[in-house]
Amino acid sequence: MPYLKLRDGAELFYKDWGNPNGAIVTFSHGWPLSSDNWENQMVYLADRGYRVIAHDRRGHGRSTQTWDGNNMDTFVDDLEELFAHLKVKDAVMVGHSHGGGEVTHYLGKHGTKRFKKAVLVGAVPPLMVKTSANPEGTDKSVFDSFRQAMHHDRAQFFLDVPSGPFFGFNRPGAKKSEGQIQSWWRQGMNTSFKSAYDSIRDFSETDFTEDLKKINIPVLVLHGDDDQVVPFEASGHKSSKLLPQGKLKVYKGGSHAIHNINTDEVNKDLLEFIKL
C-alpha cells in the first residue's frame, strides 16, 4: 500500500487508482472516516478512464496517528505535499463534509494552480458553529455533546451517528443498511481518538468564508435539503453564493451522505461536471 512520508515524519496513506495517464480527480473524506468512504465514486470514475486519488487524513484510517497537527492548516499542507509528490495538475478536487472544508481551505491557502474545478458535497463551509455573525449556525452545545459522547463511550457514539442522522436512517420509511453502518463504525474506530476529538473543533469552528471568496475556478456544490449533520441553509446554500463561480444542486430529501445513499445520481452529476 502506498504511503508518503511527510515533512514531520508522519506517513500519509493514499490510493492512486485507474488510468495513470487519465485526467485526475482527488477526493477528501469526511469526519471521522477514511478514503474508503469514496470507493463507489472512485471505482465509477476509474472505470471511465480517470485517475482517482484519495488519502486518509493524518490520524485517520491507515495514516500515522499523530498527537498534534489535527487542524486544517496542517491537513492542507499535507495535501500539497501529496499532490506535489504525485504531480497533480489540471485536476478536479472533491470533498465531503470535513473534507469539503479541506478542499476549500486548500484552494484558499495554496491556490488553484493544480486544479481546474472543485466539488463540495454536504460540506461544512462557510462556518458550522452559531455566532453573532452566523446566526443560522449550529449551537456550540451540539458539538460539546459530541465531545462528551466520545469520552463516555466512543464505540457506541460511532454506532449512533451512522444509525441515525448521518445516512438519514432515522427518517420514516428509510431503508437502513447495516453494511453502511458497520463500514462507518469501522472507519471511525480506525481513526485515533485524539484526531477525531480535535477534528470536532476543526470542522465546526473553522471559518472558511474568505477561502470561498478566493476560489477562482468553477465549484459544484451538492447538498441534501434534509442534511441533519450540516444543515443546508447554513452551509451549501451560503457557500454557493460566496463562491465566485459556484453552482448549486440540491438533492430533495437528501441526507448528509448523498454520495453513499444517492450514489448513482451523485456519480452522474460528478461525471457531467468533470467532463464540461
**Selected catalytic residue, list 97, 183, 192, 199:** 97
Largest CA-CA distance found in the chain, in angstroms, rounded: 49
97 is catalytic: yes
256 is catalytic: yes
Dihedral angle over CA of 156, 160, 161, 166, nearest 10: 150
**Selected catalytic residue, list 60, 223, 256, 259:** 256
- DSSP structure string for 123-189: ---S--B-BTTBTTSB-HHHHHHHHHHHHHHHHHHHHHHHHTTTTTTTSTT----HHHHHHHHHHHH
Of 129, 108, 131, the residue nearest 120 (C-alpha) = 108
The span from the CA of 93 to the CA of 75, in Å, is 15
The span from the CA of 5 to the CA of 12, in Å, is 6
Cβ-Cβ contacts under 8 Å for 209 (sequence gap 6 or more): 125, 126, 127, 242
**Selected catalytic residue, list 227, 240, 255, 259:** 227
**And the C-alpha cell for 196?**
477525531
227 is catalytic: yes
Of 103, 105, 78, the residue nearest 13 (C-alpha) = 78
Residue 187: how many other CB atoms lie within 10 Å: 22
Which residues participate in catalysis according to the annotation? 97, 227, 256
